[in-house]
Amino acid sequence: MNFLASVNWLYSLSGLFVGMLVGMTGVGGGSLMTPLLILLFGVHPETAVGTDLLYASATKGVGTTVHSFARSVDWRVVGRLALGSIPATAVTIYALSLLGPASPETSALITGVLGAALALTAFALLFRNAIVRFYSTRYGEMSGQRTRSATIVTGLVLGTLVSISSVGAGALGVTALILLYPKLPMVRIVGSDIAHAVPLTLVSGIGHWLLGGLDVFLLASLLVGSIPGIVIGSYVATRVSEDLLRIVLAVVLAVVATRLFVA
C-alpha cells in the first residue's frame, strides 16, 4: 500500500509509452525518457540522466536474459565494447564530479550533449541503410585486428555519450556494429548491443547515483509503467511496419533535439 501511494502515475504513464516504443523498435529508452523528464516534468538534468540510466539497466537486463536463452548474444563483441565503454564511463563520471553535478555548467553540458546525441540517433535511424551501403562500398570489411580495435573505440565513444546524456547505446550502437560486423546476423547484433548496454548503464547509473543524481521514487514509478509497456510493444511490433516506426521515432527525436538546443 505504501509503495502504491508513492507511485507517481504520470511518470508511470510516461514509462508505459516509452516502454511500448522500446518494445516495438528496440530504441527509445534514453532517447525519449531523459528529454521527457527534463522538458515535460522539469526534472534536473543530472537526476534525469542518473535515474534513466538505472531504469535502462533494469529493463535491458530483462532483454539480455531473453537474448541469452535464444543464444543471440555475441559475448566476444560485448567484451570488446566494454573494454572501451567502462573505462570511458569511469573517466566521464569523474569529470562530472569535478564540474559539480548540480552546477549550471553540468546542466548545460548534459543538455548540449543530449541534443547532439538525439540528432545523431535520429540520423542513424533515418539513414542506416544508406550509411551501411556507403561504408561497405567505400571501405569493405576490415581485418580482424582492426575490427577489434575499432570496436573498443566504439565502446569508448558510447561510454562517454551514455554517461553524459544516457543516449547512444541503442541506435548508434547497432549502426556501428552493423558496419563493423557485416556478416553477423541482425538478431545477434541487436542482442549484443542490448547485452553491452546493461553493464554500461549500470556502472554509469551507479556513478550518477553516487553524485546524487538518482530519484528512487521516480525510478520505481517509471518501471511500473515500462515493464508492461515493453511486453505490449513487443507484441505489437510484429503487426506494425518497422520502417514506419523507425521514421516516426527519428522525427520525434529530431524535434526533441531541436527543442533542447533552443531551450
Give the pLDDT confidence score for residue 92 in this predicted structure.
95
pLDDT tens, N- to C-terminus, the chain (263 residues): 465 666 788 899 988 888 787 766 666 667 788 888 888 888 888 898 989 898 888 877 877 787 788 788 899 999 999 999 999 999 999 999 998 877 888 888 888 888 888 888 888 888 888 888 888 887 777 778 889 999 999 999 999 999 998 887 777 888 899 899 988 888 788 888 888 988 999 999 999 999 888 888 899 999 888 888 877 876 776 676 767 777 777 787 888 788 777 66
Q: How many domains does one find in the chain?
A: 1
Q: How far apart (Å, rounded) are the C-alpha atoms in residues 95 and 13?
A: 34
Give the pLDDT confidence score for residue 137 in this predicted structure.
82
This prediction's pTM: 0.83
Give the pLDDT confidence score for residue 155 in this predicted structure.
96
Give the pLDDT confidence score for residue 228 in this predicted structure.
84
Domain span at residue 247? 2-262
Closest CA relative to residue 200, chosen from 99, 92, 116, 119: 92
Helices (H), the chain: 2-6, 9-25, 29-39, 45-69, 75-99, 104-138, 144-165, 171-180, 186-210, 216-237, 242-262
